[in-house]
Structure 1
Amino acid sequence: MRPWTAVPPQSGRRFVITGANSGVGFHAARILGSRGATLVLACRNLEKGEEAARQVPGHDAGRVVVRRLDVSDLSSVRAFAESLLDEVDGIDVLVNNAGVLGAPFGLTVDGVETHFATNHLGHFALTNLLLPRIRDRVVVTSSREHRGGSDLDLEDLAWERRRYRAFAAYSQSKLANLLFMSELQRRLSAAGSDVRAVGAHPGASSTNITGGSGHPVLTWIGYHGQRLVSMPAWRGALNTVYAATMDIPGDTYIGPHGRLELHGWPAPARRSKASQDADLARRLWEVSEKLSGVTFPL
């Protein structure tokens, strides 16, 4: 497959990227900035966000701003959305990128398990709060590991009945991402909206996603191991950029084209049977509305 780096010009288009101070989100911002995009970097740590922003093309021209957002905290999500809606008249693309992997068991301030809260629920709420101003599309970041999440239990999201397993929780949150994408697209189509919901995963990309594991050995192995066997983060970010900028239908999922979707250039990615379960997607949406207090606005 031929390499893809031909990102279309993005001048005049505004992108909101969560978790944009490092990894895939940071490199997606750099690529989009180099093509003229206006960027809102939504970061939990403002100092790190500002440091990252200074490395994004367009920063000196005033096209890059940083705003605080902790997607694991629904009050932070609401505050970010309210502030942004007051600040801008439109958002072309929302990139739901922030995430954690391998976190020890814990509940957020909202009483939600950390992976589910960070990787899915906060982005569910953010998307629906911003949706009336989104003009083009929502990009959902999933993972090839979503295939291991088929035992998603909507009645035990806090792991009260099951023995907690960090990587199982991660996989289930990544399955939730794809179920959310599909149900969002179904609702957008039913509402007659031209906005698209699409998804992407970065394959094996060298990032610091295991930094939230709370386990120094796992963090060290994840950090250095990825640098030995993974693509550079900018290559993984191309899948996100492709999903965010190319003319693809809603409910499209993009990932690396190579063996096991670990390495390669952007191409249609495979999805598990569970990720295409329309009834499960509907029930997840209903549970997410109850947990977040946010509903579909169109």
Structure 2
Amino acid sequence: MDFLMSGLAACGACLFTNPLEVVKTRMQLQGELQSPGTYQRHYKNVFHAFITIGKVDGLAALQKGLAPALLYQFLMNGIRLGTYGLVEAGGYLHTAEGTVNPALSAATGALAGITGAYLGSPIYMVKTHLQAQAASEIAVGYQYKHQGMFQALTDIAQKHGLVGLWRGAMGCLPRVFVGSSTQLCTFSSTKDFMTQWEIFPPQSWKLTLVASMVSSIAVVLAMTPFDVVSTRLYNQPTDAQGKGLMYRGILDVLLQTARTEGIFGMYKGIGASYFRLGPHTILSLFFWDQLRILYYTYIK
């Protein structure tokens, strides 16, 4: 039941945050491996990106990749939050005094996140391709010509086999490792701290909301550079064997980006990342925690 509740909570959040994921993806690909000031900036900031995409591609384009986004969130977060919830409910993350152990919490969140992200990697790759697709006048990054999620998965599998479906999967692992461990550790620790100080009642929705907000800030700061790496690894063009033509791996993305775009290139789209990850983190953790409270209080 924990896995189902976790997946549904993440999907509920995804419905509202997917347009921000579209904006974030395009801003991270904008000016890829080009020096600042040498390329046309189609998307000047988050708000300008929304207006530009809606005007040129149409309002429906702001929900591009929604199907794979929902499937990925259900799979990845169902495994991640579900596993973490079971471990936490079993009391394995607490010290002898009953407080949350930050190291155990971070490690559990990271391992659960990596498992979910690796299994869902093909879906995330297709989501990235679909969200990057745009009209030629505002296109950034390599443009795949997928017609939909199933067509994309079938086409990639036929051309490159199972290896092709998991291309770039290693790039998503540091992203999820850092993001998941930071998110769940800060969320649990903040709740634990506020409970000890009796700032809110133990099962108050306010407690969940504040802990989710604190977690969202920490996640974005820690995760954005790895998110840029993941997006670029997934979206790069490939040769006939399915090998990336722009990057050899995670370290190569970091080095090339820092050399051509400067260190701030690794934080491209951080505004969009917060507007996307912030609400998503808050909503998914809030729904997840509230569903668990209802289940363990009134059903189980």
Give the TM-score normalised by the residue count of structure 1.
0.32
Q: In proportion to residue count, which structure has more helix?
A: 2
Give the TM-score normalised by the residue count of structure 2.
0.32
